Structure 1
Amino acid sequence: MTVLSVNVNKIAVLRNSRGGGEPDVLRAATTCLEAGAHGITVHPRPDARHIRADDVLALAGLTRSRGVEFNLEGNPFAPPRPGYPGFLALCEAARPAQATLVPDGDGQLTSDHGFDFARDRDRLRPLVAQLHGLGCRVSLFADAHRDDAGIEHAAATGADRIELYTGPFAEAMAAGTGQAMLARFAAVARHASSAGLGVNAGHDLSQSNLAAFLRAVPGVLEVSIGHALVSEALYDGLAPTVQSYLAILRAA
């Protein structure tokens, strides 16, 4: 079964908008895990606009104590600054089970593209090796909607997996034109598997499009879902929403 990692960034956005400690990121993550989620994802950014370095360490302790996956996302090329020690330094301190490398810039509202693997392969290779040395499985954020996903170059970095950036798929599904996009994603997933890469997926996946994605795209090992899940949880509750996603995964 595809596993569910819940991204709790949005909980931190709410907390930081008011200051103080509510809503509590650790409590929200605990609720997700107790509802059956298989892991927790966070993507700390250098400006600390949501998840902070102290959250990373606290969540690392929580997931380690429960024996579940902690997936830490970030741009390995973003330089450290006050309050943000850098992605590799965070990985060294937290030792996540999975490190997902994402090429987002400081000013991006959210991640919206994968790596250019032909261009970035040689820069990524030593970083992948460093993360392996920390005991992390390494996943690389990848486009599937472009003509050349660069899968062979991604495999040449030594990474374990790619994470398919599913934003364009979600947009196509909302517009009623999802079938052609699904075929493209399925082809890239097959190519990745044949190159020895596992396949994860994330970004704008929701209860309305997840089942269709999993039916069409083979071998998806993990989905990371945050924005839609937290939005849906405002209406239905956090634990029931997690359980609804798990039911979709089981059925798919």
Structure 2
Amino acid sequence: MFLLLELRFILPARRHLVHLRTTDGEKTMSDTFIRWIKRFFRPPKEERINLNRRALFGSALAGLGGAMLFRVHPMASGRSYSHALVRPPGSVKEDEFLARCIKCGECMKVCPTNAIHPAFLEAGLEGMWTPVMDMKIGYCEFECTLCTQVCPTDAIKELSVEEKQKIKIGLAFFDKNRCIPYALSRSCIVCEEHCPTVPDKAIWFEEVEVVNHTGEKIPVKQPHVDPELCVGCGICQNVCPIKDLPGVYVSSAGESRNPDNIFLLGGDFGGYDIY
């Protein structure tokens, strides 16, 4: 920065600098150099505000559009824009959550598995920097309630371990194009081994017979999710051996906090059980 100032202002001024002596022998700067200094420190000119009709209308329209866009969030009209909008356990309903959350980041700081991260556009513009779960980075520890204890505004309600273990923050789904037993006809039980729900695990296996590339019939254990038992903790997604795009992922569908995002399961027409 100093080099640019030297080249632009000081060096040209030095060429015009003439040293004068006062009666007491002291040197003084010439008027030319003083004019260069004044030019450098001159304040910007004031500009009048343009209040013509076109500019005023454009500003009002831009402000209105920005406000409307800012208010768009995933639960508008009862629909979610992103399956990745998985909130921490104990989170209140989305519209109330957005009104309460001050984006302080306390829940993110205490998460022991680093699963809670600031949202980008999963929750719309209004929800930017609010907490969401990223199961590729971490998972919701089954016996942990730290995030429910530190929220200063009750956007995340305080829960006991027993209460927390009954709350569904989402539901796991298997991608049959990525899951090893489905896509490669090889058994893999990593997700089931880590599933924490008790006494029964939310992931169970169906042993099927498949034909491999040589025409040989081989037994393969294909995993399934029990939606009644799955709480969406995300450990299955986190530990999946396929790291770039796991063969199982957690969606916000079925979350306890949102009655508009529930599953209708079981029975025939007219007799659904709601979970």
Report the TM range for the smaller structure's normalisation: under 0.3
Q: TM-score, normalised by structure 2?
A: 0.25
Higher share in helix: 1
Q: TM-score, normalised by structure 1?
A: 0.27
Q: Which has the larger radius of gyration?
A: 2
Greater relative contact order: 1 or 2 (C-alpha under 8 angstroms, separation 6 or more)? 1
